[in-house]
Chain A
Amino acid sequence: MSILSIKNLHAEVDGKEILKGIDLEIGAGEIHAIMGPNGSGKSTLSYTLAGREGYTVTKGEVVYQGKNLLEMLPEERAQAGVFLAFQYPVEIPGVPTVTFLKQAMNSVRKARGEKQLDAFEFKKLMDARLKELNIVNDMVRRALNTGFSGGEKKRMEVLQMALLEPTLAILDETDSGLDIDALKTVADGVNALRAADRSMLVITHYQRLLDYIVPDHVHVLFEGRIVRSGDKSLALELEEKGYTDITGAAA
């Protein structure tokens, strides 16, 4: 069953067309990787799917679980199970991480018609997730992402993903700014969240992330279009030959 169906998606930022006709089908539980050089439109694709203001869709359609995703507000998309792990998680000074997490959790639960969690119930749930992901408690007591190291920020994204249990997780260059140890830790967290009812779109510049989060499908994004698709071996081919060769060959 298709979770996400993107057809001929065109999008622009500040009047400049960045996405020039993307087609992509993601089935339930599948992991798709999108690779591409800088400026190919990777981040634009993730922001467009998340509904960020300023990313204007000019053509095409996106159907998520049978619904028109493009008609939904950003928070509605999140509530419906679309999760974006940010390339650069945002610092919100003065807001304790635990407060933020609880509010996010309860906003999503409220939208889904589920019972709100009280402080005690939430803490129990959070502690369980922290343990699974091997994250120290100290982090959630600090202000959200404020003064966190690159690795901590990315682990916080994974923790949020674990709590919000998305149907579609978009990982935007999760590997950027991480050393190999931090990368492994984050990848372990993501792998722990692989599930039959959870699809993932892993966006990355480098192949190395895909050594740890092994995709079912790999797509090469170049100048706003997917120019090649294949299985995980395509990532290795890219690594070997570089983007110029692949995109050149496709042109």
Chain B
Amino acid sequence: MAIAQATIDSVGEATDKYKYGFVTEIEMDRAPRGLTEETVRFISAKKEEPEWLLEWRLKAFRHWLTMKEPTWARVGYPPIDYQDSYYYSAPKSDADRPKSLDEVDPKLLETYEKLGISLKEQEVLAGVRNVAIDAVFDSVSVATTFKDRLEKDGVIFCSISEAVKKHPELVKKYIGSVVPYSDNFFATLNSAVFTDGSFCYIPKGVRCPMELSTYFRINASETGQFERTLIIADEGSYVSYLEGCTAPQRDENQLHAAVVELVALDDAEIKYSTVQNWYPGDENGVGGIYNFVTKRGVCEKRAKISWTQVETGSAITWKYPSCILKGDDSVGEFFSIAITNNRQQADTGTKMLHIGKNTRSRIIAKGISAGKSQSTYRGQVRINAMAEGARNYTQCDSLLIGDKCGAHTVPYIESKNRSARVEHEATTSKISDDQLFYCLQRGIPQEDALTLIVNGFCREVLQELPMEFAVEAQKLVGISLEGSVG
């Protein structure tokens, strides 16, 4: 029997009521429209970058010109005109950077307040909960908090532009070391035109005293957003990094091509958590963010990288946070929840490359599809010939709500070592009328019942999120399905 129409409707309403649909009017300092070497030079000059970085950008740009947009993902969208976009915009006050929140453009603060993450609030919150925030508004960091506290432990947490100026040796050594400038179409584009992002360095043996968190937000119309994040955990250190995003509502598709590189040196551990809630477009698929992200980490000996993501936004999600398990006994983990609704398309998964001996990886992916959306899990597990004793466990579960959506699982498994053990489990199910009725019969209203069942379905992944994020993520699951915000 088909699921109650009311349920489908209530799910359908969810993205119509996108809470964060607004654009703040602030004068922008823009690069001219289009993408040429001049654009790349303009960006580099604006950011007062050293010569080596400009050269690196130009190398990427020239390479990009020879590349073709990939078409293998199960997503469809009209061709992107890369010459019809702006590649740099910064709040005008950039030249005179604010020293404290009081100096920040009040309109900016208003924007954050609308999002419910006002910096003032966050500052207090962060003080209490030990969360440091490097807020990115459009392309340039405008305020960084709690840096002093981190500096005491030798932790560097700043915008990547600042890192280029203050810690050039670290940036130069590691940028492009995990995701080379020639890696893929979108990563290469990012290498050429990235505007800002976060930089983080944890010294040897230091356990980062707080969860690091960055709120990204796309604001200016027609401005592609190209963040670049670089996190380096030196030997024996630990860091947990949280990334969360929202975007204002607008009609035009917005290109977003971020790159995140993680470096976990011997015995280090990086936990990287994302909650992604960008504008998904309307119920007809008009508007919404195109989210083409390259995220990858490298693990040296006994190091561990854990990716956890909750993806509910964007019109198109193209994202495969991966681990290169280079060092012996290193560990890679990927925990994912992807919720699609209306006409959203998500093609997401991970790559686990086992190079070192006794490397282990675990993949838990949960896809929830509603409306007319399409969700694909695409994953690769590769065991190299030298990866003696490597182990992988993969579990992919898909949940369908209604009968017009789709879920697909595309696992690639390749093992060149006979001692390796690879397990793959996949399930696809529909929310059953039996489950819903059972909840209703216990007095639980339909929307709450749906949230309860879906949260149950995602539980293994939600449990992996840091406390600060878990509540937000559970709410987001609820919001995506309830059509009511809060």
Residues 420-442 of B, flagged 1 when their CB comes within 8 A of A and 0 if not, give 00000000000011110111111
Determine whether the beta carbon of A93 is less than 8 Å from that of B442: no
CB interface residues, A 87-111, toward B, < 8 Å: 89-90, 92-95, 99-100, 103-104, 107-108, 111
How far apart sit A52 and B441, CA to CA, in the bound complex (Å)? 9
Give bound CA distance, A50 to B439, whole Å: 12
Residue-wise interface mask of B (1-17) relative to A, using a CB-CB cutoff of 8 A (1 in contact, 0 not): 10010000000000000
Q: Does B460 contact A (CB under 8 A)?
A: yes
| A84: B residues at CB distance < 8 A | 441
A53: which B residues are within 8 A, CB to CB? 1, 4, 433, 437
A104 to B440 Cα, complex, angstroms: 9
30 A/B residue pairs, CB under 8 Å, sorted by A: A50-B441, A52-B437, A53-B1, A53-B437, A74-B440, A75-B444, A78-B440, A78-B442, A84-B441, A89-B438, A90-B432, A90-B434, A90-B437, A92-B435, A92-B438, A92-B439, A93-B457, A94-B456, A94-B457, A94-B458, A95-B456, A95-B459, A99-B452, A103-B444, A104-B442, A107-B442, A107-B443, A107-B445, A108-B442, A108-B443
Q: How far is the CA of A143 from the CA of B444 in the complex (A)?
A: 17
Interface size on B, residues (CB 8 A): 25
Q: Min CB distance, B53 to chain A, in Å?
A: 47
Q: Determine whether the beta carbon of A160 is less than 8 Å from that of B4.
A: no
By a CB distance below 8 angstroms, the chain A residues around B455 are 94-95
Q: How far is the CA of A78 from the CA of B437 in the complex (A)?
A: 11
Q: How far is the CA of A100 from the CA of B448 in the complex (A)?
A: 11
Query: A92: which of B445, B446, B456 is its contact (CB, 8 Å)?
Result: B456
Cα A245 to Cα B450 with chains together (Å): 47
How far, in angstroms, from A36 to B1 measured CA to CA in the complex? 26
Whether A177 sits at the interface, judged by CB under 8 Å, is: no
Contacts of A144 in B (CB 8 A): 456
Q: Closest residue to A50 on the B side, CB-wise?
A: B441
- Nearest CB in chain B to that of A100: its residue: B452
Q: Does B115 contact A (CB under 8 A)?
A: no
Which of chain A's residues have a CB closer than 8 A to the CB of B442?
A: 78, 100, 104, 107-108, 160, 164
| A89 to B, closest residue via Cβ | B438
Question: Is A147 an interface residue, CB under 8 A from the partner?
Answer: no
For the complex, what is the distance from the CA of A79 to the CA of B442, rounded to whole Å?
8
User: Top 5 nearest A-B pairs by Cβ distance?
Assistant: A94-B456, A95-B456, A104-B442, A94-B459, A78-B443
Q: Which residue in chain B gives the minimum CB-CB distance to A143?
A: B456
Q: Is the pair A54, B452 in contact by a Cβ cutoff of 8 Å? A: no
CB contact between A103 and one of B1, B435, B448 (< 8 Å): that residue: B448
Given contact pairs A53-B4, A94-B456, A94-B457, A104 touches B443 in the complex (Cβ within 8 A): yes
Q: Collect the chain A residues with CB atoms within 8 Å of residue B164's CB.
A: none
Task: Please measure, in the bound complex, the distance between the C-alpha atom of A164 and the C-alpha atom of B443, giving whole angstroms.
Answer: 9
Does A148 belong to the interface (CB within 8 Å)?
A: no
Contact B443 A111 (CB under 8 A): yes
Q: Would you call B453 an interface residue if the criterion is a C-beta within 8 Å of the partner chain's C-beta atoms?
A: yes
Interfacial residues of chain B within 308-338, with CB under 8 A of chain A in the complex: none
A164: B residues at CB distance < 8 A:
442-443
* Minimum distance in angstroms from B400 CB to a CB of chain A: 15
Q: How far is the CA of A164 from the CA of B442 in the complex (A)?
A: 8
Q: How far is the CB of B435 from chain A (nearest CB, A)?
A: 5
Q: Are B456 and A107 in contact (CB under 8 A)?
A: no
Given A53-B437, A75-B445, A107-B445, output 14 extra A-B contacts at Cβ < 8 Å. Answer: A50-B437, A51-B440, A73-B440, A75-B441, A75-B446, A90-B435, A94-B460, A103-B448, A104-B443, A107-B442, A107-B448, A108-B442, A111-B443, A143-B456
A122 within 8 A of B: no
Which single member of B438, B445, B448 contacts A90 (CB below 8 Å)?
B438
CA distance A162 to B441 in the complex (A): 15
Residues in A with CB closer than 8 Å to B445 are 75, 107
A81, B464: Cα distance in complex, Å: 38
Q: Which of A78, A95, A100, A143 contacts B441 (CB 8 A)?
A: A78
Give the distance in Å from the alpha carbon of A111 to the alpha carbon of B437 in the complex: 18
Please indicate the chain B residues that have their CB under 8 angstroms from the CB of A111 in the complex: 443
Closest residue on chain A to residue B429 by CB atoms: A93
Instruction: Write out, one digit per residue, whether chain A residues 44-63 have a CB within 8 A of any chain B CB (1) or not (0).
Output: 00000011111000000000
A86 within 8 Å of B by Cβ?
yes
Which residue of B has the minimal Cβ distance to A81?
A: B443
| Cβ-neighbour of B444 out of A52, A77, A93, A104 (below 8 A) | A104
Q: How far is the CA of A104 from the CA of B4 in the complex (A)?
A: 20
Interface string of A99-136 (1 = CB under 8 A from B): 11001100110010000000000000000000000000
Question: Which B residues touch A77, using CB under 8 A?
Answer: 441
Which A residues between 122 and 181 are near B, CB-CB below 8 angstroms? 143-144, 160, 164
Chain B CB within 10 A, most for which of A52, A86, A92: A92
What is the minimal beta-carbon distance from A234 to any residue of chain B, in angstroms? 29
**In the complex, what residue of chain B is closest to A85 when comparing beta carbons?**
B441
**Closest CB-CB distance, B143 to chain A, in whole Å?**
37
Residues of A within 8 A of B443 (CB): 75, 78-79, 104, 107-108, 111, 164
Residues from chain B with a CB closer than 8 A to the CB of A107 are: 442-445, 448
Determine the distance from Cα of A160 to Cα of B459 in the docked complex, in whole angstroms: 23
Distance in Å: Cβ of A118 to nearest Cβ of chain B = 16
Which chain B positions have C-beta within 8 A of A54?
1, 433
> CA of A51 to CA of B443 in the docked complex: distance in angstroms?
12
Residues of A contacting B432 in the complex (Cβ-Cβ under 8 angstroms): 90
Chain B residues lying within 8 Å of A93, measured Cβ to Cβ, are 456-457
Q: Are A95 and B438 in contact (CB under 8 A)?
A: no
Least CB distance, B293 to chain A, in whole angstroms: 27
The distance in angstroms between the C-alpha atoms of A95 and B460, with both chains bound, is 11
Closest CB-CB distance, A76 to chain B, in whole Å?
8
In the assembled complex, the CB of B83 is this many whole angstroms from the nearest CB of chain A, namely: 48
